[in-house]
Structure 1
Amino acid sequence: MNREHNRKRLREETFDICIIGAGASGAGAALDAALRGYRVALLDRGDFASETSSRSTKLIHGGVRYLEQAIKKLDLAQLRQVRHGLAERRTVIRNAPHLAYPLPLLTPVFSWFEGMYMSVGLAMYAFFAGHDNFPQGRWLTKPEALTEMPTLTDRMHSAVLYYDGQFNDARYALALAHSADEAGVAVVNYLNVTGFERDNGRLTAAIVNDLLSDDTFPVRAKLFLNCTGPYSDAVRLMANPEAEQRIRPSKGVHIVLPRETLQSDCAMLIPKTADGRVVFAIPFGDKVFVGTTDDDYQQLDQEPVLEPAEVDYLLETLRPYLAKNPDKSDVEAGFGGIRPLIVSSRATTKTLLRDHEVEYDSASGLLSLLGGKWTTYRLMAQDAIDKAGELLNNSTPGKTENHYLVGGENYRFDDWQCIQQQTNLPTDVCQHLMRTYGNRAQRIADLASSRPELSEKISQQQPFIKAEVVYQVREEMAVTLRDVLARRWRLELSDWQLTIRVLPIVAELMARELDWSDQHRQQQINSYQSLLNTFLKRAGLTTQPANVTHL
């Protein structure tokens, strides 16, 4: 993806559809539209998936909680979400098998009745999933459960095992944007929409400010599609000040613990907390992510951060299920996201519908894709582009169901061995490259072979190598330190202290590729370090600021 080339296209061309927001739904809609033959622009005021779409629980699922509510309340809307989610689960994994895969989940139970209740519910879950080649779940005895997850409490009666999908959300969104770019979309990050031009009230151009150059220019299109998630109302009101607000933002946070917390490749589902929520403990790399919370959030101009009360809540929720109680000193990082829940008459964010809606504002001509969740991003995008086709009087069917994303076609994980034979890189590095880049891993291997200094790890604690930074700048439109460390790698999510320590190494590599001055390089380091120290302080995890000079 070449930012300058695409930016030039935005200045010169008129597009059929300009999509605002490059998270799951926006990038998915861009790819869908391009495969149907539309001329498409995709813009984001930040990096790809820099907001909600990179801060999920990393699960591709139908929604066990939705199924329970659907049955208890005879709620067909909830049941529809489950069926859509389970149907799409297979497609999400098939189209990017390097980034998404089945995940076993254990649910500890404390009585025979509870085990039977969960087993019946999960059998129904499997029934709705149909024949999708997922492994079958089962009711485990206590010894079997402890074999799968040795850290479980001895107080449990047994456990129920079932399967859902796990994925790398930020890289999946990046793969969607990258695939859209290769399908002809003009994809540009760090472009902020500040207003619209109109003709008789109808939108004809988006006024954008390039946050890297401070340049302002119009992007012209026949139709504008708003895919900005929890920020959708801001764009809707910019297009039509008379519009009613439709989004009720909800904050969800996760804490990060060492992988030893579970000592398992299985995740854990805590089916009911003291306040009626569902919490997951998910192995992800060498860490365990525990979450999520679900609370109203109105400070949309501020990044959601982990707070001490949220840390305490998640630790207290986890403790009854483990033999050894984790405490605050075990927490290594955390992350918060904002869900774009659609306004409803229901009382709390825990029960608001998360299904999506395609809204057309006849006064301005703005199309908005509201609500939804990661698992059904493709259906959301398909519905939005179906409506766009109607409005453009040029309808054509979608083609994304069987379209491999960048890195996914002909993917074979065992090809890491070929890379190792070619480069002599360590096993953990070669396996990481395959899981992260799929069939594009060879390109990083070629960089490492051509420049041996790029084969070095940035830290002995992780499998990341310097060649990846060069590739991410050249091919994946990484332009800031956080682009690399938070999203193309997921280091910020898993270890704040280590992220701070490697900043100078990554900054030096990016400076060479992007021709940064020494001053700009140091500004990037200082700004990111300050942000991470703020995260640590706000979460109550340290009293001493971490510093890059501790290298």
Structure 2
Amino acid sequence: MKFERGEFIKAISEVELWDVIIIGGGATGLGIAVDAASRGYTTLLVEQADFAKGTSSRSTKLVHGGVRYLAQGDIGLVYEALQERGLLFKNAPHLVKEQEFIIPCFGLKSKYMYLIGLKIYDLLAGNRGFKHSAFLKVDKVHTAIPGLKTKGLLGGVRYSDGQFNDARLAINLAQTSAEKGGVLLNYIKVTGLLKTGNKVSGIKAIDTETNKDYTLKGKIVINATGVFVDDILQMDVPATKPIVRPSQGVHLVLDQSFLNGASALMIPKTEDGRVLFAVPWYGSLLLGTTDTPLDNHSLEPVALEKEIDFILNTATKYLTKKPTRADVLSVFAGLRPLAAPGKDTNTTKEISRSHKLIVSASGLITITGGKWTTYRKMAEDVVDKAIEVGGLSAVKCISKNISIHGAATGLMGDPLAVYGSDAQEIRKLTAADPNLKEIVLDGHATIKAEVVWAVRNEMARTIEDVLARRLRILFLDARAAILMAPTVAYIMALELGYNKDWETRQVTQFTTLANQYLLEPYYPDVLSNSKKIAI
């Protein structure tokens, strides 16, 4: 089925009974949609906002086994994640690449502890094409990371992990599911659960674009809503106690000159016991993360001042160029849907990182916890359980060998490499209309054809969808995203058939949102440039 919202809306009006209905369009839900559709089940996924709007677009951009989990002795979790890292590297080569990390050593004890630990990490990973760990002398560390302070440095331990583009992987997973027959819709909000007797038999939902209500029946309903799982569980049983404790992770984005090298920096233990990463990402530097327990969840979490200060202060201790608030290009917060224990706790160290599968008395399946790296294994576990609970015909999982939409190699250096095999399709757009080769904003490589592609082929419905998740500009440079907004709105209005009022509302709403990603307000008179943006 074509990955197009109108086609999918038509499908949900025609299908009387789905085998599998998935609530939630993040990493877990999309993984389930790929798995279920590839096994031949009629599959529907609904997401209240955009795909990967929440946690799944706000990660540290790492496909990893979790070095810190190894230090905690969770060998099983690390082994599983490293096997899944290898599969992602194979199945999505356009989005996942090897990234070298260096752990600085300021004492002999840390040198041998990290080196031994990472040799175990190598063994657990097996022969998956990643470089093995090694100790580097001070001069080699300085060559790899010129921006690292070397006073008291004995050297560093080098190891490799995976890096990826989380929101791009999400949209490619959605496309993969659609290619297998799945139906996936953003901006469809679940308002209630259908029941036959005491069993969940479907969902009630509303299309937030048109305000049209839908009643959708399914043999099995899966709650994969991340930090929102308790909201769905309470639709089933109103008195249900929360099973998730959200933890906030914050990242700051700086110019890559602060590290001034291609290798990433990993500080395994800061003053308060947290891990700090400084990772090159699309020409910028990603600093993070924090681990702050919260009592509430939202679609747009906001970084706390203490989190911003922690990251800047910690980075200052290791970088020769001191980062300040004025240097921050973007700041974003994400909520981890950690499976909460039965007791009261205020430390995320006591909350499980592994995933947890729950089947309610009503037959509702809920999946919590986990991380991006293990999304495929989580999905396999969920669909296996859905077969059992929903009485579906048993079909074996084949997702280990499914190439994700766009999978292609040999694209190094291509400005459209992130699109994989779709890059050639975007070039066809520019061949048909040379105006689409124009860049959206001076100083940035994004061309107008990418906006057109996002609307026509990736179900982007708003400026935010395009600039936050399809192009990632909001996460890399929020001021640039604000300046791009009028051009993006104009192109989208032409594609979607909207008027000037829609453009103005979209630009206003996006500018307000983008300012939440900045430490200082930025409200340029962007609408005055409208005469320059025609295509």
TM-score normalised by the shorter chain: which range applies?
over 0.9
**Contact residue 174 and residue 184 of structure 2 kept, 8 A:** yes
Question: In the alignment, which of 118, 124, 142 is matched to residue 120 of structure 2?
Answer: 124
Consecutive unaligned residues of structure 1, counting only runs of 5 or more, are 71-77, 415-427
Q: What residue in structure 2 maps to residue 548 of structure 1?
A: 526
**Contact residue 255 and residue 290 of structure 1 kept, 8 A:** yes
Matched, 1:432 2:415: yes
C-alpha separation in 1, matches of 2:360 and 2:224? 14
Match of 2:271, SS state, is coil
C-alpha separation in 2, matches of 1:391 and 1:315? 49
Question: In the alignment, which of 119, 128, 142 is matched to residue 146 of structure 1?
Answer: 142
Superposition CA RMSD, Å: 1.4
Q: What residue in structure 1 maps to residue 58 of structure 2?
A: 55
C-alpha separation in 2, matches of 1:307 and 1:247? 21
User: Within 5 A, what are the aligned runs for 1:117-516?
Assistant: 117-155=113-151, 156-301=153-298, 303-344=300-341, 345=343, 348-362=347-361, 364-393=362-391, 394-408=393-407, 410-413=408-411, 431-434=414-417, 436-516=418-498
Number of equivalent positions: 522
Q: What residue in structure 1 maps to residue 532 of structure 2?
A: none
C-alpha separation in 2, matches of 1:63 and 1:303? 26
* Offset at residue 347 of structure 1 (A): 5.5
**Contact residue 533 and residue 546 of structure 1 kept, 8 A:** no
Matched, 1:523 2:526: no
> Runs in 1 of length 4+ with deviation above 3 angstroms?
543-547
C-alpha separation in 2, matches of 1:301 and 1:254? 17
**Contact residue 29 and residue 224 of structure 2 kept, 8 A:** yes
* Offset at residue 547 of structure 1 (A): 4.1
Instruction: Give 1:210's aligned amino acid.
Output: D
* Offset at residue 203 of structure 1 (A): 1.9
Q: How big is each residue's C-alpha offset from its partner over 1:22-66, in whole Å with a ceiling of 9 and x where there is no partner?
A: 111100001100111100001100111110000000001111111
**Contact residue 478 and residue 484 of structure 1 kept, 8 A:** yes
Instruction: Give 2:419's aligned amino acid.
Output: Y
**Contact residue 193 and residue 208 of structure 1 kept, 8 A:** yes
**Contact residue 501 and residue 550 of structure 1 kept, 8 A:** no
Match of 1:29, SS state, is helix
**Contact residue 22 and residue 29 of structure 2 kept, 8 A:** yes
Distance of aligned partners of 1:356 and 1:543 in 2 relative to their CA distance in 1, 3 Å threshold: closer
* Offset at residue 298 of structure 1 (A): 2.3
* Offset at residue 543 of structure 1 (A): 5.0
C-alpha separation in 2, matches of 1:550 and 1:330? 27
* Offset at residue 546 of structure 1 (A): 4.1
Q: What residue in structure 1 maps to residue 75 of structure 2?
A: 79
Q: What residue in structure 2 maps to residue 34 of structure 1?
A: 37
Question: In the alignment, which of 1, 4, 13 is matched to residue 2 of structure 1?
Answer: 4
**Contact residue 500 and residue 547 of structure 1 kept, 8 A:** no
* Offset at residue 353 of structure 1 (A): 1.1
C-alpha separation in 1, matches of 2:134 and 2:376? 30
Match of 1:144, SS state, is helix
- Give the structure-2-normalised TM-score: 0.95
**Contact residue 250 and residue 333 of structure 2 kept, 8 A:** yes
Q: What residue in structure 2 maps to residue 23 of structure 1?
A: 26
Match of 2:416, SS state, is helix
Q: What residue in structure 2 maps to residue 73 of structure 1?
A: none
Distance of aligned partners of 1:197 and 1:407 in 2 relative to their CA distance in 1, 3 Å threshold: same
Matched, 1:91 2:87: yes
* Offset at residue 308 of structure 1 (A): 2.6
**Contact residue 335 and residue 493 of structure 1 kept, 8 A:** yes
Instruction: Give 2:70's aligned amino acid.
Output: L
Match of 1:350, SS state, is helix
C-alpha separation in 2, matches of 1:37 and 1:542? 50
Q: How big is each residue's C-alpha offset from its partner over 1:488-537, in whole Å with a ceiling of 9 and x where there is no partner?
A: 1110001111110110111111000001111111100101111222443x
* Offset at residue 438 of structure 1 (A): 0.3
Q: What residue in structure 2 maps to residue 45 of structure 1?
A: 48
Match of 1:432, SS state, is coil
C-alpha separation in 2, matches of 1:8 and 1:365? 28
**Contact residue 277 and residue 350 of structure 1 kept, 8 A:** no
Instruction: Give 2:6's aligned amino acid.
Output: E
Task: Pick which of 200-209 and 31-40 moved more.
Answer: 200-209
**Contact residue 98 and residue 438 of structure 1 kept, 8 A:** yes
Match of 1:46, SS state, is coil
Distance of aligned partners of 1:462 and 1:544 in 2 relative to their CA distance in 1, 3 Å threshold: closer
C-alpha separation in 2, matches of 1:308 and 1:256? 15
C-alpha separation in 1, matches of 2:294 and 2:107? 37
Match of 1:321, SS state, is coil
* Offset at residue 207 of structure 1 (A): 0.9
C-alpha separation in 2, matches of 1:375 and 1:546? 39
Instruction: Give 1:51's aligned amino acid.
Output: G
* Offset at residue 485 of structure 1 (A): 0.2
Distance of aligned partners of 1:523 and 1:549 in 2 relative to their CA distance in 1, 3 Å threshold: closer
Q: What residue in structure 1 maps to residue 97 of structure 2?
A: 101
C-alpha separation in 2, matches of 1:340 and 1:278? 19
C-alpha separation in 1, matches of 2:493 and 2:213? 25
C-alpha separation in 2, matches of 1:209 and 1:130? 47
Distance of aligned partners of 1:544 and 1:20 in 2 relative to their CA distance in 1, 3 Å threshold: closer
**Contact residue 105 and residue 266 of structure 1 kept, 8 A:** yes
C-alpha separation in 1, matches of 2:507 and 2:474? 14
**Contact residue 106 and residue 266 of structure 1 kept, 8 A:** yes
C-alpha separation in 1, matches of 2:427 and 2:278? 33
Q: How big is each residue's C-alpha offset from its partner over 1:128-176, in whole Å with a ceiling of 9 and x where there is no partner?
A: 1111111122111000001111111021221111001000000101111
C-alpha separation in 1, matches of 2:93 and 2:398? 18
Instruction: Give 1:402's aligned amino acid.
Output: N
Q: How big is each residue's C-alpha offset from its partner over 1:474-497, in whole Å with a ceiling of 9 and x where there is no partner?
A: 111011001000001110001111
Task: Pick which of 459-468 and 440-449 moved more.
Answer: 459-468
Match of 1:467, SS state, is helix
Match of 2:475, SS state, is helix
% identity of equivalent residues = 38
Distance of aligned partners of 1:84 and 1:395 in 2 relative to their CA distance in 1, 3 Å threshold: same
Task: Pick which of 465-474 and 341-350 moved more.
Answer: 341-350
C-alpha separation in 2, matches of 1:110 and 1:298? 37
Instruction: Give 2:124's aligned amino acid.
Output: F
Task: Pick which of 524-533 and 110-119 moved more.
Answer: 110-119
Match of 1:524, SS state, is helix
* Offset at residue 549 of structure 1 (A): 4.7
Q: How big is each residue's C-alpha offset from its partner over 1:281-335, in whole Å with a ceiling of 9 and x where there is no partner?
A: 1110111111110111223246211233221110111112112211111111111
Match of 1:241, SS state, is coil
Instruction: Give 1:62's aligned amino acid.
Output: G
- Give the structure-1-normalised TM-score: 0.92
Distance of aligned partners of 1:405 and 1:544 in 2 relative to their CA distance in 1, 3 Å threshold: closer
Task: Pick which of 150-159 and 23-32 moved more.
Answer: 150-159
